[in-house]
Structure 1
Amino acid sequence: MGTVLDALAWKFLEKLGQLIEDEVIMTLSVKRGIESLKKNLEFFNAVHEDAEALAMEDPGIDSWWKNMRDVMFDVDDIVDLFMVHSQKLLLPPRPVCCNQPLFSSFAKFSFDHMIAKRIDNINEKFEEIKMNKEMFGLERTNGQQIQITIVDRSQTSPVDELEVVGEDIRRAIDDIVKMIVSSNYNESRSTVFGIQGMGGIGKTTLAQKIYNEQRIREKFQVHIWLCISQNYTETSLLKQAIRMAGGICDQLETKTELLPLLVDTIRGKSVFLVLDDVWKSDVWIDLLRLPFLRGLNSHILVTSRNLDVLVEMHATYTHKVNKMNDCDGLELLMKMSLGPYEQSREFSGVGYQIVKKCDGLPLAIKVVAGVLSTKRTRAEWESIRDSKWSIHGLPRELGGPLYLSYSNLPPELKQCFLWCALLPSNFVIRRDAVAYWWVAEGFVTEVHGYSIHEVAEEYYHELIRRNLLQPRPEFVDKGESTMHDLLRSLGQFLTKDHSIFMNMEYSKALPNLRHLCISNDVEEIPAIEKQKCLRSLLVFDNKNFMKINKDIFRELKHIRVLVLSGTSIQIIPESVGNFLLLRLLDLSYTKIQKLPESIGKLTSLEYLSLHGCIHLDSLPDSLMRLSNISFLELEQTAIDHVPKGVAKLQQLYNLRGVFDSGTGFRLDELQCLSNIQRLRIVKLEKAAPGGSFVLKNCLHLRELWLGCTIGGHDKTYYQTNEIERIQQVYELLIPSPSLLYIFLVGFPGVRFPDWLCSEPERKMPNLGHMHLNDCTSCSVLPPAGQMPELLVFKIKGADAIVNMGAELLGKGVNSAKHITIFPKLELLLITNMSNLESWSLNTWNLCGKSEQLVLMPCLKRLFLNDCPKLRALPEDLHRIANLRRIHIEGAHTLQEVDNLPSVLWLKVKNNRCLRRISNLCNLKDLLAQDCPALYQAENLISLKRLYMVDCHNAKQFRMSLLEDQQLAVHVVTVGADGRDIFPDESLYN
């Protein structure tokens, strides 16, 4: 962002150096001007480390700071513009009329003259700034560029972001849960419980723990969590409530349509609703109260900073969250900075002093712990303790630990953090999307050996590690996150003079606005075309945004990022071609019907998303002139023709939704995409077999998704000749050895491709994830057991498979001492196998002695779902020494779960014939639901927690356990109606 001058200086110096090094065509005056620019930037490349803080305390330095920032952006604009025109000179000539060359020469002379003049003006501004710099006494430092270390996240263990520390919060959780589950429902109004406290004190954490409590899951049929931002829209809240209650509302857009659907969705059901971060009571009183009165039994838990809000909502009980005491704060600090298992005695003294400065706020402790997690010596901890924790002018609640966490970020991460603060409150930040936004903004520094997108994703994970982004708990890979409101407020305060989030109450005008995000509640879009310095414009899910003023495309010449996702825009005008510096264009889920031919003029464009544009049925041929594009997404559109020329897009890194369209794009063009890393090919039933292996040159391919649109969910069948043709197409799609993920969806062939069945360990030695979905006609599985790096294997909807055994195990992986089957597999998912009757892990044919064979040594989690004919679990399942969690659901023929000594956690649901669970000697948690025949337990000597719902013989099952066994027993005999009352943690924990 604009305040991080050291990051800008490094980036722009890099660009200028590249221009000079590449000897781009330029006149002598332009070349001299660029060399002077480079010298001036070198003079400023290490801005005084305290200059940003001093600017907030001294109006003179603040003016100098802003002038310096604006000149930096001028440099970036002029360099990017020059590079775009230079690239045009290098493009192959297009057919022209006889007088065109003379005109082109004149145009180039005029352009160079304009560039030279603008560079001279910038250099004059630099000279003025130099003088002011000396006047303010800002000394240069030996600035060094800080690079983020790329971490192999597969080698790090997940951290529980909801770690509960302290007896007070544990007692509060238990007390509130008891009140909720034991309270009597009042038919005249829903029962409301409140949690009140200042920002950052842990209200949301407390509510999340209550929401996930097993007793809450048992009592209520429907569980809904709604984040209530200050600028919420009624329709978005209603849609979220309907989805979480199990309804579908994709085609509805108005409150009038959504309210009756919400009522119907929850009618007659018990509901537990959490309203998190409520600022005004009208969200409940005027919008949600009446629909939830229609529920059979509705209990509402509300978190708010304002006690008056809870009073107005008639809360029957309000828990006030107090500040954390210093001892509990120290425990939290140590856990989140050093990890739960490291020795911390050396740091405890200075840690205690740091906790005292956090004033009992858990959020403050967490973000400071994020800073300390990068420090490994006592001296570094002491330096943090003694550093400047705030600056003049910061609101009190944003200073101290929050500002410290920001000020200790490397320059690149400061820009990324401030950019996230621009987004709406409670906005879900997706890792892949934000990585492209940051790349388009120029925030990401290249690291040797990694793509720039991989580096951007590492920036995202570093912000999570520092607790500046909060990962959503349902995403184990931390692929989605949010930003706490206080941290968002800090970022917006620091960028208030050049970046704004505009809602319906915002009216301030800024002369040099660089970044603008428009709330979805803004009914009248402002005159954006006046903001001629604008670099990014973000509009998310604003249905009021129906058209774009043509003047915007003429005036906003410096824009790099344009996001119009989820708006009602239908037409993109031809003048979009004026956005010469545009790098990212997101039109996903809009109502556009066509793209203008002028889009081919956007030679800087790197990212184009058309995902979900269901009215878009064609692409302009000019799209294939976007030589710099690295991300192209065409999924869920009506496009039936992809133009020829994909082979020209040499920078493509991520291509989604492409398909062979006969007269247009052909699969053969993929041979030229040497940089592609993620490829999703759909509608493969349309493709014709070619004469070569089309992926042979895709040496960096990491993720491959191959799918047919028919033959999957709708069970459409093919003629024999069609199947043979499709089989031939798949045989030619041999992936690179670099592949990490493979997805086959809807494959109609009777056998999997040879490259998947014959020595796959040699063709794909690095494969970590294999997903085979709805391959309904294949009767034999590939030998996945001999894949040396496979971590996750999922087979779904393979209707032709009756027996599963030796063919899946393969020949294993040989070592000097033994053979290993699935040497690294951690997660095995077998689901929707409607005809699977037997599953064997018998390996007698691989070697003569069982002690010489190791079976799945790393498998921790097994998921079996909808295998109604499976008669028994494999006899050799007990040999898997590290298997900890098993989930079995919809196995209606299975009668027994037996002899699994390593399993700690077992969930059985909707298994009609399951009668007996025995010889699980280390089992600690047993969750049983809708298993009417289950009556016998045997040798469950370690069982600590038993949960049973809708199990008719629950009493008999409980009596079959040891009489002296110390158990926490929770039994509900009626009322589940098929819903899943247990969190589905067996998959990922």
Structure 2
Amino acid sequence: MAMVLDAFASYPQSMLTKMAAEEVHLLLGVSVEIDKMGDKLKDLKNFLADADRRNITDKSVQERVGLLKRAMYDATNILDLCQLKAMGRGASSVDAGCFNPLLFCIQNPFHAHDIGSRIERLNKRLDSIKDRSAAFGFINLGSYEVRGRNIHALRPGNSSRETSGELNRSGVVGEKMEEDTRALVEILPTEKEGYNKIMVVAIVGVGGIGKTTLAKKVFNDEAINVKFDKVTWLSVNQYFDKIELLKTAITLAGGDQHSENALAVLQPALTTALTGKKLLLVMDDVWNHIAWGDVFETTLAYALAQGSRILVTTRDERVARVVSSEKDGHEIDILKDIWLQIVAKCGGLPLAVKVMGGLLCQKNRERRDWEMVMNDSIWSVSKMPEELNYAIYISYEELPPSIKQCFLYYSLLPKNAVFLKSCIIGMWISKGFLHETSDDWEQLGSKYYNELILRNLIQPDIDYVDQIFCTMHDVVRAFAQFVAKDEALAAHSGQTGIISKLSGRKFVRLSLESELSESHELDWSSLHAQKTLRTFISVGHTNMKPCDSLVYFPCLRTLHTDSTNVVLLVKSLDELKHLRYLSVERSDISSLPDNIGNMKFLQYISLEGCKQFVKVPHSIVKLGNLRCLIFHETCINWIPRGFCALSNLRTLRGFPALVDGDWCSLEELGPLSQLRPLGLNVLENVSAAATSSAAKARLGEKVHLTYLTLSCSSRLGDDGLITEGEGVSEEEHRHIEEVFEIVGYFGQRLTRWMSSTSASCLKSLRILMMQDLVCCTQMPDGLSQLPCLQFIQIIRAPSIKRVGPEFLHPYHHHNYHPSPAAVACPRLHEMVLGGLVEWQEWEWEEQMQAFPVLEELGLGNCKLRRLPPGLASSARALKKLTVQCIQQISDLENFGSVVDLAVDKNTDLERITNLPKLQKLVIVMCPKLKVLEGVRALQRLVLEDYDMETLPEYMRGINPRYLHLDCSLSGPEWDKFSHIEHVKAYADDGENLRKWYVLYTRDPYNLETN
């Protein structure tokens, strides 16, 4: 059972491995002591798992674990110091690995001796810890056998073997094999009502059981071959390459050969080769769902004919559950009794049930696995501390060790602040939680983040797209903070006793939240004793004096503060030699230290929202480890030449397009080939004369690019005479795979690469956001062709008056007549159109089919008189509809699938009819609404209007279970709502909007009012 301590000990070990590769310790003359350290860490691992589990409830073990952790922290500090001193000798090189340790050792014998002495003392501490721990009888728990399933663990066996569809019949024996073959041959071609267009079937089992042989028999069966237009075999393996896999698939499909190495080019090529064909694709030896989900799923769904089938062989049932399209109802039924017993153990707490559900989703659907959860010994622990919920405890114990420490760290974040996914992953990286052999730590962090979501330990906020912001329930937070209480403190600076806590104990991680309006006793000097701090997070106001400094926290690796007076600390930033993560968002700083280039370990810098920040220090180009740099919403007017030396950058946001003679700052982006998210600002500076310089940014060569933001300074309100400001060409966008954002574009038409003839360069795009399109007079006509597009947001486009049929079928203006089978926006889940203040007409031809999976639609601040009938009939998956500040609209009707409707300040709205599945209705300031009919499923009604003198008559004809009423004091009439089961009614009195209230329950009768 691998635990947090296992992952914790792995970090210094990974540092040792890196140093060994660079021969640092050997050339510094400390190789013997460092080798001893590595051996001792391995020895200690024998009892880490048992110690970690007992650490939560056994106070005697907690002290021993604390000693071990402090030793580990000291180890990483020493190893950092070793690298820093060596790098100092190679200051002429940006690359941290380019130095001469031998020369350094000769010139600095005292330092080599000092390093050796420190490591020798640490080794003695580790020996002492090991000897004293023997008294606790720690058990070697099977070399960290994971109770759950480690999602990143390598499985034994030959993971790179390649298979083909050729069948050696001499080795195929057994009645069971023949029986299974006949069953699959019968099932795969079968068409039934309700089946998906493409059905995925998985063969699951351990290595060597015959999965591949069974698949080959099906693949070579004559009855199968005559039922499909094409039968193809793909050998995937664990270490597959997405590009090579796609190229192989294109070749097997009879498509054209491609020299391109970009998904955005190859996926459309596969689509072209397979369009309209009924395919049987066998994907053999699939180790994770990425091969299906990221490479083939969308492409094949867009291209293949009805009745196509995918047959997958895999060792991992989780892969099968992700890729398979059908559920085995009988399989679930036989587990129902176990599930009900687990629910009963949750004690009626919905959160606990939800967490258990998230855990069981990661398990095989087998009674044995579910019974292990039901019978876990944790359920029977007596005298459990109040903070420890049994269900969360079990879920925590099932986490892989590397994710455990990420989970505990998440609980440290102030609950009332917004920390986005990228920020959290940056913190995890700075703490060394993501130290696998792969250098793509951001992708690994994203997997961990998503795993916490799947297990319901954090909850995505529905107001943020793409799950970039999550919250943690108070019960989960309390559990995690209790587990980490010996080394972490998360507190409100105004709470009672905070100073005594800080003066009485030494913490490793500290998180403080405060408000400017509060009068609290805590000031900066109260923190001086916390010399062991490695993480400091401060949200809100902090009391500081001009003499305050960061020098008191020499071990700090992560510093996040948005305090307005943080400028007082800038001068001492360079004292933090170990610092990896620096965020001073929305503060009043105007500069960074000129010698910031000496902070060699810095990986993450965020200056977002620092309005007074104008100049980047030249020495920043020396930060060769820098992975993330955020200038968004700053006033930077100078970028140092040589910025291109930051070759390790993965994220760059808010980078200004500055022009100085024949030099453009965009040129500096050319060599930065590792960029994923990229944001470019003030692109209006890139005139036609500077376009050649902009091309030197070489965006088209950045094959990892996933998120691109192009921003011009908003000219909302100007006449906007520029008609076609390209700035960046179609070729530059062809690798964007995730998110595209345009802000402040001032041309009358969107650039050519957004048109129907060029939209293929964005085939992999999932999210499109456009804002402040000051002069654009038409919607982009290429959106409907984007097969992966899931989210569209267009905000403030005041020149658009009409949306025509070409928005959904771009060839309409070329006398193109779409076939009944043509569907626009096939994957779009959410669309928001707001601030199109002159938009009056939305044309929709009767034969148009669009938005088959659209679930959320928001429309606001426009002059639409009606919604097109085709929208209601096509968007059959629509669940949530929001209509806000559309003054002329008079009716909403016939949305048969909508369950959640909000209408807000639609002054001419008169009718809402025929929404048979509607369950929740929010009506705010719609004074002319008189008809509310055909809402028989309505459960909850929220009605807010402080100007109405009487309740509307339509109240008599509806029967929701809950009514929430905000109105004027003279408003409610008893007979119009007494038939409703639960009522909450409030009336205002000046500034107090809820001074008067009526709380009513019909059965059992209860009435409360003031």
Instruction: Pick one of 558, 569, 577 that aligns with 1:580.
Output: 577
Secondary structure of the 1:537 match is strand
Pair 1:652 & 2:649 matched: yes
Aligned partner of 1:821 in structure 2 is 824
Match among 771, 774, 798 for residue 772 of structure 2: 774
For 1:145 and 1:814, locate their aligned partners in 2 and report how far apart those are by CA, in whole Å. 61
- Secondary structure at 1:50's aligned position in 2? helix
What is the match of residue 801 of structure 2?
802
Q: Is structure 2 residue 706 aligned with structure 1 residue 716?
A: no
After superposition, the Cα gap between the structure-2 partners of 1:750 and 1:35, relative to the gap in structure 1 and judged at 3 Å, is same
Sort the Cα spacing of 1:594 and 1:392 in 2 relative to 1 into closer, same or farther, 3 A.
farther
Contact 2:525 2:548 in 1 (8 A): no
What do residues 691-718 of structure 1 show as CA deviations (whole Å, max 9, x unaligned)?
1263122221111111122313xx2345
**1:209 maps to which residue?**
none
Partner of 2:487: 498
Residue in 1 that maps onto 2:854: 859
Distance 1:817 1:40, change over 3 A: farther
Counterpart-to-counterpart distance in 1, 2:388 and 2:751: 58
Match of 2:863 among 856, 865, 868: 868
- Aligned runs of 1:207-226 on 2, under 5 Å? none
Q: Secondary structure at the match of 1:890?
A: strand
1:166 — aligned with what?
A: none
Q: 1:59 to 1:876 in 2, by over 3 A?
A: closer
Deviations 1:556-606 (A, max 9, x none): 432211222224222345443232221011212223232211212111111
Report if aligned partners of 1:594, 1:619 keep a CA contact under 8 Å in 2.
yes
TM-superposition CA deviations, 1:325-368 (whole Å, max 9, x none) = xxxxxxxxxxxxxx999976544555555556555555555555
The Cα of 1:621 is off from its aligned counterpart by 1.3
How far is 1:785 from its partner? 0.9
**1:633-782 mapped onto 2 (5 Å cutoff):** 633-663=630-660, 666-688=665-687, 689-691=690-692, 692=695, 694=697, 695-712=699-716, 715-718=717-720, 720=721, 723=722, 727-731=725-729, 734-782=732-780
Contact 1:797–1:834 at 8 Å: present in 2 too? yes
Which residue of 829, 834, 859 corresponds with 1:831? 834
What is the distance in 2 between the residues matched to 1:142 and 1:458?
26
Query: Does 2:403 match 1:413?
Result: yes
SS at 1:138 equivalent = coil
2:441 equivalent in structure 1: 452
Q: Distance in 2 between matches of 1:417 and 1:940?
A: 43
Structure 1 residue 544: Cα displacement: 0.9
* TM value normalised by structure 2: 0.67
Describe the shift of the 1:546–1:440 C-alpha distance in structure 2 as closer, same or farther (beyond 3 A).
farther
Corresponding residue to 1:438 among 385, 408, 428: 428
Q: 2 CA distance for matches of 1:15 and 1:618?
A: 34
Per-residue displacement from partner, 1:239-292 (whole Å, max 9, x unpaired)?
Answer: xxxxxxxxxxxxxxxxxxxxxxxxxxxxxxxxxxxxxxxxxxxxxxxxxxxxxx
CA distance in structure 2 between the partners assigned to 1:816 and 1:35 by the alignment: 71
Between 805-814 and 636-645, report the one with greater CA deviation. Answer: 805-814
SS in 1 for 2:823: strand
In the other structure, the counterpart of 1:887 is 882
CA offset at residue 784 of structure 1?
Answer: 0.8
Query: Letter of the aligned partner of 1:822 in structure 2?
Result: C
Alignment of 1:892-971 (within 5 A): 892-897=887-892, 900-903=895-898, 906-916=901-911, 928-935=923-930, 958=954
The amino acid across from 2:543 in the alignment is N
Kept in 2: contact 1:364–1:401 (CA 8 A): yes
CA–CA separation in structure 1 for the residues paired with 2:475 and 2:916: 48
1:727 alignment partner, SS class: coil
Alpha carbons 2:909, 2:926 under 8 Å: kept: yes
Shift of 1:150: 8.5
Q: 1:344 to 1:39 in 2, by over 3 A?
A: same
Who is 2:206 aligned against?
Answer: none
Q: Which amino acid aligns with 1:40?
A: K
Normalised by the length of structure 1, the TM-score is 0.68
Q: Partner of 1:611 in structure 2?
A: 608
- Which of 135-144 and 861-870 deviates more? 135-144
Aligned mates of 2:449, 2:853 — CA distance in 1: 29
Cα distance change, pair 884–570 in 1 and its aligned pair in 2 (3 A): closer
Residue 18 (1) aligns with residue 18 (2): yes
| Matched AA of 1:565 | D
Q: Name 2:627's counterpart in structure 1.
A: 630
Partners of 2:799 and 2:925 in 1: CA distance: 28
Change (3 A) 1:680 1:352: same
- 1:422 positional shift: 3.8
Alpha-carbon distance, 1:669 to partner: 1.8
Q: In the superposition, relative to structure 1, how do residues 59 and 829 fare at CA in structure 2: closer, same or farther (>3 Å)?
A: closer
- Would the alpha carbon gap of residues 495 and 800 (structure 1) be closer, same or farther in structure 2, given more than 3 Å must change? closer
Cα gap change, 1:31/1:104 in structure 2, threshold over 3 Å: closer, same or farther?
closer
| Cα separation, 1, equivalents of 2:346 and 2:966 | 48
CA–CA separation in structure 2 for the residues paired with 1:131 and 1:400: 33
The residue type equivalent to 1:647 in the other structure is C
Deviation digits for residues 634-675 of structure 1 (CA, Å, limit 9, x no counterpart): 233333323333322222222222212324861122222211
SS at match of 2:792: strand
**One-letter code aligned to 1:701:** L
**Match for residue 563 of structure 1 among 546, 555, 560:** 560
Is residue 389 of structure 2 the alignment partner of residue 387 of structure 1? no
* Contact 1:10 1:145 (C-alpha < 8 Å) held by counterparts: no
1:751 positional shift: 1.8
Quick one: distance in 2 between partners of 1:931 and 1:363?
A: 37
Alignment partners' CA distance in 2, 1:412 and 1:121: 28
1:599-621 CA distances to partner (integer Å, 9 max, x unpaired)?
12111111112222233332211
Cα distance in structure 1, aligned partners of 2:54 and 2:907: 71
CA distance in 2, matches of 1:61, 1:827: 51
CA RMSD between the two structures: 4.4
Identity of aligned residues (%): 27
The correspondence of residues 221-240 of structure 1 with structure 2, limited to 5 A, is none
- Decide whether the 8 Å contact of 2:524 with 2:542 is kept in 1: no
User: Bigger shift: 107-116 or 756-765?
Assistant: 107-116
More deviation, 636-645/460-469: 460-469
Q: Distance in 2 between matches of 1:934 and 1:55?
A: 62
How far 1:747 sits from its partner (Å)? 0.5
Query: Is structure 2 residue 510 aligned with structure 1 residue 516?
Result: yes
Instruction: Give secondary structure in 1 for the equivalent of 2:708.
Output: strand
How far residue 778 of structure 1 moved from its aligned partner, in angstroms, is 1.7
Counterpart CA distance in 1 for 2:888 and 2:647 is 54
CA contact (8 A) 1:574 1:598 kept: no
Tell me, what secondary structure is at the counterpart of 1:43? helix
Partner SS, residue 140 of structure 1:
coil
Q: Unaligned 5+ residue runs, structure 2? A: 95-99, 154-326, 515-519, 969-986, 994-1010
CA shift, 1:441, in A, is: 0.9
Distance in 1 between residues matched to 2:951 and 2:561, nearest whole Å: 58
Distance verdict in 2 for CA 1:607–1:944, change over 3 Å: closer
Verify the 8 A CA contact 1:703 1:739 in the aligned structure 2: yes
Partner residue in 2 for 1:375: 363
- Equivalent residue runs for 1:175-254 within 5 Å: none
Corresponding residue SS for 2:30: helix
Distance 1:371 1:969 in 2: 33
Aligned partners of 1:763 and 1:897: how far apart in 2?
37
Tell me if 1:541 matches 2:536.
no
* Alpha-carbon separation, structure 1, partners of 2:75 and 2:966: 71
Q: Is the 8 A contact 2:756 2:785 kept in 1?
A: no
